[in-house]
């Protein structure tokens, strides 16, 4: 598990319009890993520290999603909704007329964003519950 060390106590005063960053997270790397990180940071026009911080804080860590990630996920949800709405009748042997397909397209367009948001919120809630249960298990083990 990574170690987190407080660099120094500075109070809650903001720095450059953001909360102060007063914690340090470190890890050991091979020379090849360090070179790869430096190259990726350079390509992004950032320092290795800035680049690594952004990578660490992506959606898997803090549940933030870029606009493009949200858009792609929403479109995938829309495709799933469209397939679910068309495959079932087709597999039963029914035929869909153009008006039915048009209505389905409009329904998917109108509801896919809300459905995608609902799925993301459900996933975040499940992750929070899983983290809570893991913390409770660790606490119980520590007490034993």
In the three-class reduction of DSSP (H, G, I as helix; E, B as strand; rest coil), residue 65 is classed as coil
**Structural contact between residues 17 and 30, judged by C-beta atoms closer than 8 angstroms:** no
Cα separation, 79 vs 25, whole angstroms: 40
State yes or no: pLDDT of 5 exceeds 80. Answer: no
Over the stretch 55-66, which tens digit does the pLDDT of each residue have? 887 755 555 667
DSSP secondary structure letter of residue 70: H
Between these two residues, 128 and 112, which has the higher pLDDT value? 112
Q: What DSSP line would sit under 75-115, residue for residue?
A: HHHHHHHHHHHHHHHHHTT----HHHHHHHHHHHHHHHHHH
Gap between the terminal Cα atoms of the chain: 21
Shortest CA distance to 55 belongs to which of 77, 31, 22, 33?
A: 33
- Most confident residue range from 20-24, 110-114, 124-128: 110-114
Between these two residues, 47 and 142, which has the higher pLDDT value? 47
Over the stretch 53-94, which tens digit does the pLDDT of each residue have? 888 877 555 556 678 888 999 999 999 999 999 998 899 999
Give, in order, the Cα–Cα distances in Å from 144 to each of 41, 136, 138, 140.
45, 13, 10, 6
Q: What is the pTM of this model?
A: 0.50
What is the dihedral sign for C-alpha 117, 123, 126, 127? negative
Between these two residues, 141 and 28, which has the higher pLDDT value? 28
DSSP secondary structure letter of residue 44: T
């Amino acid at each position: 598990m990574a170690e987190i060390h407080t660099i120094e106590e500075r109070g809650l005063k903001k720095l450059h319009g953001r909360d102060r960053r007063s914690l340090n997270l470190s890890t050991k790397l091979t020379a090849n890993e360090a070179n790869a990180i430096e190259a990726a940071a350079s390509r992004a026009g950032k320092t290795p520290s800035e680049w690594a911080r952004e990578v660490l804080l992506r959606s898997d860590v803090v549940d933030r999603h870029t606009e493009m990630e949200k858009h792609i996920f929403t479109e995938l949800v829309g495709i799933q909704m469209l397939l679910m709405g068309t495959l079932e009748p087709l597999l039963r042997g029914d035929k869909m007329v153009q008006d039915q397909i048009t209505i389905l397209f409009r329904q998917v367009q109108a509801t896919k964003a809300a459905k995608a948001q609902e799925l993301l919120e459900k996933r975040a809630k499940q992750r929070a519950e899983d983290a809570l249960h893991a913390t409770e298990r660790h606490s119980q083990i520590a007490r034993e």
